[in-house]
Structure 1
Amino acid sequence: MHHRRAHTKSRHGCTTCKTRRVKCDEQRPICGNCSSRNETCAYPGTGPFFFTGSQGRRSRRGASSIASSEDRQQSNSESPSFHDFNQLGNSPTTASYAPTLDMKQLELILQWINETHKLPARSEETRKVWEKVVLQEALTAPYLMHGILAISALHLSYLRRDDRYEMWLDIAIAHKNTALTMFSEQLQNISQSNAKAMMSFGGLAFAFSLATALNLDTKEDGPGLNSLTNVFQLARGVQIIVNAAGDSLKEGEFAPLFDITPPDVSIPAHVIDALDKLDQLQAQCSETDPSIDSATYAHAIQRMRRLVAFTFDSPLSLTMAGGWAISCSPAFLDDLNIRRPLALVVLAHYCVFLHMGRGNWSIGSWGYKVFLEITQELEPHWHSHIEWAARHIMSSDP
């Protein structure tokens, strides 16, 4: 008679051993089984780093897998020197010094360098900043590195609608959760030394929020008025960081990100006319309703005028979407939250430019779906003020 060999349960073993249903010796950074089989060894955990010593309850979307600077320093102190490697030869202890590679994380870095860094760029100069300078900043700002890995994983989940889609989405959410936790701890300590990394992360978080909602696309979390207002609140954080850091942030390698000189493109007459009418409407409403802050709306419309050239120069650019969101004043966001009709009319015009950029994987159907909700919120006598928006949104595909 054959008897099943008894063994004690390994509750904190690596995911590879759990998949194989074998006992893990829980050695870190690579367990004995994975070392002998030359397999990737990964431990689940809710902490921000892959080689974490603490084991908490795993989040719904898994955990990230970047080693902390402390872990890296410890690893470096324990790694053999070049002389040591020469002495090791075929010693049975060689395996204990073997470095491990997390191929998924390396693939995400490659994805960032090759493609994803282009998402927030609007020119060749800004593209270079996002590709190299921001990545360099991330080496000393773990939350930014997690943000880069999160948006790159989300991009891969969009590009590869195959059996790895869920895996990349899980990785994206895990990195995002970790990044936000770490980032929030820095918000009370904005300085010149961390402002570049914090501003970069804010821009990525804006794009990530838009793209994530497209993946969820539920009534509560998908594209809609409430979701967009929340994204605007997040985008406002970028302006707060810029204000706190002062002019130093606008100098040096990051200078191209602050150059919003409109490109030399022709703006269609119907767009200029629509924005002129919007200005006239806000002036009329401000005269009849003292609770409306005319300066707030004049600023919002003027900002839209300034950024619209970027949409016609490059429709898939995030410059209008992000630039206008960042500049939204708290007063305007308050009016959106209470569904003030004038604020909804202004937002309907913004939706036209969002809809023009629907080919951007992080924008998609945002403009179309938010506009539909605006039409339901507005009383019929306000609909004449969004006819231009309706004409350009409803006559094309979502």
Structure 2
Amino acid sequence: MAEKDEEPATVTAAAAAAAAAEKPYHPKRPHRKSRAGCRNCKTRKVKCDEGRPACRMCTLRHETCMYMVPPKRASRVPSSSPAPSRDGESAASASHALGQLRCAGAVISQPQFRPSGYYDTDMRLLWFYTTATYSSFSTGSLKERNVDVVLKVNVVQHAFANRFLMDTILGLSAMHINHLGLKNMGVPRSLELQYRARAFETYRKAVEAADPATYPALLITSLFLCGLSTHVFRGEEARPFAILDWMTLWKGIGTIIGLIGFPDEQLYRTSFGALLFRPSIDLDASARCIPSQLLFMIASVKDGDPDFPLVKSYYGALQLLGSLYLELRNGFTPLLFLRVVTFFTFLSHPLIRAAREMRPRALVIVAHYLPFTRFKANHSWWVEDIAEYEIPNICNFLGPEWKTLLQLPMASLQTEDNMTLARLLLGDPSWHPPSTIEEEPFTSLYERELSIRTIKSENAPEVEYQEDVLGLKLC
């Protein structure tokens, strides 16, 4: 009976083999679906091996590999992680992973990687820094100062190795996000405040420690703090004459370089050399651009006047101010922006002391500098509103006696565009900028603006926050 049962089975198997041999193709073998595959493989409806940063199929086809969802292992990282590792290997791997957040030709609205010791909010802020915030310290492709790679790569590498720099970057990004009103990023004002407070605290401790290994990170942090500290010009935290402390902070960058004792050659051989570049000033040419009323203000100081010992310092400050007028004649160039933001670093200590002592002539000079911060020819969002806040404070403090010398700064507050403001400052209603103006590379501008618009268009749900053991409200 068993032999009879086996015979049909044998015949059936032989028939199936013969039928398979006649088929012109082989059917696909069943396989597990790739739910996290790249966009190209999904379009072609083929299995993706989900290789990072590029899958095998895209690599063979020489195509840009783009993923629409983060890798699964990132979602399994617990929210409560130990303190960040300080060893170089961890910092290097984290920095490399952050670089993968910026896929070529795509805008990713959420980071794909979270290293040990960092929260999801930290990674969102760090991603936003490398996408948008970094550009507020860039001058584009200026020949003497092309620092985009330094800001997006070298600075981030140092941030993973130096917590005070990382805290400053996160605080700056949180401040930028709220300045733009990007509620979808899930960074409330209270969290911005906590990031900022931690940045100042960890920086203070690093300065006190004065570890030579942290000197490069201290320099870049001092630069970023000049942007982070501008919260004192806006909102509930605003306080009159905060500009005087801001002047001191900018001047402190040069002081830190002096304390460190870096020879100029050694400093400029580092990756931060271009970032700390300040354009030279032709003092003789700049002196010819000083407004005549300001020159008369200094020339009228006679022996016996309390300001007489400061005449030389006042004139030096006016020469620096003249360099802004001189550069403005060339149009709204990246170099003009660089001269505006580095202006206070050139001022002498006597001039800064005179301003902090609220001496009228020093305050008048500061008031005439402030209109230059209103030019919308750059992306330094952190200088916005400073002039609108401080020029009226200076005018109210000095009173009617100095009103004539403050007419131009007050009139600048009524301008709404670059051209009108430039014509007012230059005293030439028919002025036009030269046609040869160096513009920021289109690709960099497009990438940043597209990223911000993408975030604004997201309909993300409101994020709930819980108090963390570190004192930060983290999602």
- Which TM-score band (shorter chain)? 0.5 to 0.7
1:276-304 C-alpha deviation (Å, 9 max, x unpaired): 54244224326552544123222322223
Aligned mates of 2:171, 2:405 — CA distance in 1: 39
In structure 2, the residue matched to 1:260 is 278
Aligned mates of 1:272, 1:108 — CA distance in 2: 46
Shift, 1:121, TM fit: 1.4
Shift, 1:241, TM fit: 1.0
My pick for the range that moved more, 235-244 or 288-297, is 288-297
Aligned mates of 2:156, 2:396 — CA distance in 1: 43
Residue 315 of structure 2 aligns with an amino acid whose one-letter code is: A
C-alpha distance 164-145 of structure 1, shift in aligned 2 (>3 A):
closer
The answer on 1:284 being equivalent to 2:300 is yes
1:55-94 C-alpha deviation (Å, 9 max, x unpaired): xxxxxxxxxxxx2528x98xx9xxxxxxxxxxxxxxxxxx
SS of 1:394's equivalent in the other structure is: coil
Which of 159, 162, 166 aligns to 2:183? It is 162
C-alpha distance 194-277 of structure 1, shift in aligned 2 (>3 A):
farther
Aligned mates of 2:302, 2:170 — CA distance in 1: 46
Q: Which has the larger radius of gyration?
A: 2
Shift, 1:168, TM fit: 4.2
Q: Is contact 1:120–1:317 with CA below 8 Å preserved after alignment? A: no
The answer on 1:332 being equivalent to 2:363 is no
My pick for the range that moved more, 103-112 or 310-319, is 310-319
Q: Which has the higher contact order (CA 8 A, sep 6+)?
A: 2
Which of 122, 132, 135 aligns to 1:115? It is 132
Which of 195, 199, 203 aligns to 1:175? It is 195
Residue 114 of structure 1 aligns with an amino acid whose one-letter code is: T
Shift, 1:356, TM fit: 2.5
Shift, 1:169, TM fit: 3.1
SS of 2:153's equivalent in the other structure is: helix
In structure 1, the residue matched to 2:172 is 151
Residue 105 of structure 1 aligns with an amino acid whose one-letter code is: D
In structure 2, the residue matched to 1:390 is 410
Q: Is contact 2:290–2:325 with CA below 8 Å preserved after alignment? A: no
User: Structure 2: which 5+ runs fail to align?
Assistant: 1-74, 94-114, 422-475
The answer on 1:347 being equivalent to 2:363 is no
In structure 2, the residue matched to 1:294 is 311
Q: Aligned residue pairs: how many?
A: 308
Shift, 1:223, TM fit: 5.8
The answer on 1:237 being equivalent to 2:252 is yes
Shift, 1:222, TM fit: 1.3
In structure 2, the residue matched to 1:209 is 229
Shift, 1:129, TM fit: 2.2
SS of 1:224's equivalent in the other structure is: coil
SS of 1:153's equivalent in the other structure is: helix
In structure 2, the residue matched to 1:361 is 381
User: Structure 1: which 5+ runs fail to align?
Assistant: 1-37, 44-49, 53-66, 77-97
In structure 2, the residue matched to 1:380 is 400
Identity %: 17
In structure 2, the residue matched to 1:9 is none
1:214-233 C-alpha deviation (Å, 9 max, x unpaired): 5x523xx31631x2212222
The answer on 1:323 being equivalent to 2:354 is no
Alignment of 1:12-91 (within 5 A): 42=79, 51=82, 67-69=84-86
Which of 332, 342, 345 aligns to 1:313? It is 332
Which of 124, 140, 159 aligns to 1:138? It is 159
Aligned mates of 1:353, 1:171 — CA distance in 2: 32
Q: Is contact 1:139–1:145 with CA below 8 Å preserved after alignment? A: yes
TM-score by length of 2: 0.56
Alpha-carbon RMSD:
3.7
Aligned mates of 2:327, 2:211 — CA distance in 1: 31
Residue 136 of structure 2 aligns with an amino acid whose one-letter code is: L
SS of 1:313's equivalent in the other structure is: coil
